Structure 1
Amino acid sequence: MYNDPRAAYMDASVATASPARLLVMLYERLVLDVRKALAAQQKADHAEAHTQLVHAQDIVLELRASLDVEAWEGGPGLASIYDFLHLQLVRANINRDAGATEGCLKLVEDLCATWREAALAASQVA
């Protein structure tokens, strides 16, 4: 079984979460990664910033890959946002650009808040 109660809790949370909740959880992790990357860049901890930015890039690529652009009218626009965000995260990492990372953070915070609101609204309708 689990020696780490936190890991067990996280596994159970993910296994029982609705698709909307899973999406919000993924966005929350994306926000966390970009915040940690920005803090690391501000401390000139380039290795930590790289690790966080690469993980953030992986999340954005997963969000993009799982997006069905034909499923709703906003799909193509969201795909473009994901493509832009991924490019900016790569640039922020390569150029060690805290300003670019800060711009990405504002974008992912807004996206996270929007999806959180949408998930809450959907849960109240159901």
Structure 2
Amino acid sequence: MYDVRSRFLADTVATAGPSRLLTMLYDRMVLDVERAEAALLAGDRVEATNQLSHAQDIVAELIGSLDAEAWDGGPGLLSIYTFLLSELLESSMTGSVERTAGCRAIITPLRDAWHEAAAAAAAPAAVPTQRTASFGAETGASTGLGVLGVG
């Protein structure tokens, strides 16, 4: 059966830019880990495992799409992702609420940082204002020409 919500979500993902996709992945990963933590506290290991598995899939996707050589912070971020994947797997296998909370404590600041970076990248660049050049300032005359000498 046709599910409107699924179609809307698919369209949103298909039309999102790279920074929006990244922030969407992080938002979902935080949600998955929060749900897993709640499920573990409620004693529902099956639900916790499902949520942690989805978070693992997201981290694996982030690892696969990261070009660690493209920037100075790439190798460090790859190390964080690798550690996080290991911890998510261990949390899933052991059912540890503490480990799951630790994963959330790693993911949340990363998500916030990526949201800030995406917002900064989307902000319009400052447009320089046109100033008039002051040629012949010694006489107080102004030609009315712009900065580059054009009106």
Normalising to structure 1: TM-score of the pair? 0.95
**AA aligned opposite 1:112:** R
Larger RCO (CA under 8 A, 6+ residues apart): 1
Matched residue SS, 1:59:
helix
After TM superposition, give the deviation of residue 94 of structure 1 in Å. 1.1
Question: Which 10-residue stretch deviates more, 2-11 or 99-108?
Answer: 2-11
Aligned counterpart, 1:69: 68
Q: What is the number of equivalent residue pairs in this alignment?
A: 125
Alignment map for 1:1-126 (pairs within 5 Å): 3-125=2-124
Provide the rounded CA distance (Å) in 1 between the counterparts of 2:110 and 2:91: 19
Provide the rounded CA distance (Å) in 1 between the counterparts of 2:124 and 2:111: 20
In the TM superposition, what whole-angstrom CA distance separates every residue of 1:73-110 from its partner, at most 9, and x where no partner exists? 10000000000101111111111100000010111111
Provide the rounded CA distance (Å) in 2 between the counterparts of 1:31 and 1:55: 11
Q: Give structure 2 stretches of 5+ with no counterpart.
A: 126-151
| RMSD value, Cα | 1.2
Bigger Rg over Cα: 2
Runs in 1 of length 4+ with deviation above 2 angstroms?
none
After TM superposition, give the deviation of residue 125 of structure 1 in Å. 4.3
Provide the rounded CA distance (Å) in 1 between the counterparts of 2:77 and 2:124: 24
- Greater helix fraction, Structure 1 or Structure 2: 1
